[in-house]
Amino acid sequence: MQTTKRTGPTNIVVRKTIRILRSAANKNNAPIWRYVAELIDRPRRLRVAVNISKINRYTEDGDIVVVPGKVLGAGTIDHPVTVAALGFSEQAVEKIRAAGGKVMHILQLVEENPRGSRVKIII
């Protein structure tokens, strides 16, 4: 008997995140969540890693940001933003919270904002 090799993410949390994002995109007519799911469904070596400095450069006070990957702690941030991602380094969490911002998993943001309105994707 020949078995086929599994493709796509093997991490159960990542698979669940992709499934819920696609469901939310269909249910709420929000193509942003489908696009985020496509970005997460890439091979791990191609997944996004964004530094705090990039978030600081492309956001303004009070923005909501989605990073379809991991947020790293290089650089500084000087204004409060809400950042949703698959993962965060400890330094990144400390710096975002020190600036008055909020850190969450992507699924928490989908629950709070099912339509995906006023959300920026940083890749």
Domains annotated on the chain, with CATH: 12-121 (3.100.10.10)
pLDDT tens string, the chain, 123 residues long: the values are 667 777 778 899 999 999 999 999 999 999 999 999 999 999 989 999 999 999 999 999 999 999 999 999 999 999 999 999 999 999 999 999 999 999 999 999 999 999 999 999 999
Residue 8: the pLDDT is: 78
Helices vs strands, H then E, count in the chain: 5, 5
What is the pTM assigned to this prediction? 0.92
Give the contacts of 102 (CB within 8 A, at least 6 positions apart).
Answer: 80, 81, 82, 83, 96
pLDDT for residue 9: 83
Chain centre distance of CA 107: 9
Residue 68, pLDDT score: 97
